[in-house]
Amino acid sequence: MPAVLAILVATTALAAESTTLTGKVVSVHDGDTLRVVDGTGGNHAVRLQGIDAPETSQPFGTKSRNRLAALAMGKRATVAVTGTDRYGRLLV
């Protein structure tokens, strides 16, 4: 139980203190999740909030992923992190 409490406290603290992350988009998982590598080599899974993109196995899922990849892949990104989700992805 203490570990769960620590995770909740850490998540709440991160949500209260918005941080900025800058790096390069190195992969796109689906239409709302990508991976950014920062200047120190930190590898971050990033979830775009407010987007309910289909999973790649669902209709239009591959098209959704490909469109996000066309927009973001290989580009420099600066994201304002507002918290983390239950999978540990950064929320932006």
* Number of residues written out for the chain: 92
Distance CA 75, CA 87 (A): 24
Task: Name residue 20's beta-bridge partners.
Answer: 80
Q: What residue ranges define each of the domains in the chain, with the CATH number in brackets? A: 2-91 (2.40.50.90)
Query: Could you read off the pLDDT of 33-64 as tens digits, one per residue?
Result: 999 999 999 999 999 999 889 999 999 999 99
Q: Which of 17, 47, 65, 67 is catalytic?
A: 47
- Amino acid code (one letter) for 65: R
pLDDT bin (cut points 50, 70, 90) of residue 27 is: very high
Q: Which of 17, 35, 55, 76 is catalytic?
A: 55
86 is catalytic: no
pLDDT above 90 as % of the chain: 77
Task: Name residue 45's beta-bridge partners.
Answer: 35
Contact 34, 46 (CB under 8 A): yes
